[in-house]
Amino acid sequence: MVRWGVAGAAGVLGVGVGGGVVDVAGMRETAGAVGAAGVADVADVRGAVGVLGEVLARLVAVPAPEGLRTLGGAVERMLAAAPETVGRLADASERRLLADCVAAVREVAGEPGDRLLHWDLHYDNILAGRADTGRAGQWVALDPKPLAGDPGFELFPALVNLFDAGEVVWRFDALTEAVGLERDRGRARAWTLGRVLQNAVWGAGTGGHRMVPEHAEIARQLLGGGVTVRAGVRWCGG
């Protein structure tokens, strides 16, 4: 079951999958339905990653409704802007790193996917539902930027929010397993590197000449050992 509506900038989505429910809504739509406690308040960050993974898995199990913006369109724009973005970076090692991200994205750009994506699913955007609104025991995801695309494109916010360099690979592995991509982590890495590229493009558009340090670190760790995307295709970090 999918119920989709848009009220100004606030979209509302209810998805029932296998008896579970994911509610994704604009913050203004659900402010009265959630309490103050959120996933970001969970003392065990790995536990918070687990909750986010469960919410994400139920969300991406559903095909995106017709009429949503698509990852295919977004990737065309970021790849078109990539040469200028790479050239604007002041640091040579960052230019090589971002060029590797571009190469990875090109390998998967032809298969952008059709799943329902939140696009900004981080820990501060998941709050506990309130009992008096019938949402006791539910985690409610807020403030979506709905997009149709590959689930691998959804992982980056959970890596960079509450950032811990020592946990990047663990989180990535846990999230790919949660959404059923453990056998296709090469593709998930490529789309996560696509988020690094997208943010670099946005940064260059506002006059930036350096990558965000946390974004660069995520890219280095995901690229560091080389990952097979398709048979015979490998890339390595610079």
Instruction: Point out the residues that are catalytic.
Output: 120
Rounded distance between C-alpha atoms, residue 11 and residue 210, angstroms: 33
Rounded distance between C-alpha atoms, residue 159 and residue 215, angstroms: 9
Strands 20-25, 139-142: pairing is: parallel
Listing from the earlier edge strand, what are the strands of the sheet with 126-129? Answer: 2-7, 10-17, 20-25, 139-142, 126-129, 34-38
> Could you tell me if 192 and 181 are in contact, meaning their C-beta atoms sit under 8 angstroms apart?
no
Measure Cα distances from 234 to 140, 169, 185 in Å. 38, 19, 13
> Could you tell me if 238 and 93 are in contact, meaning their C-beta atoms sit under 8 angstroms apart?
yes
Task: Tell which residue, 205, 193, 194, 214, has the closest CA to residue 81.
Answer: 205
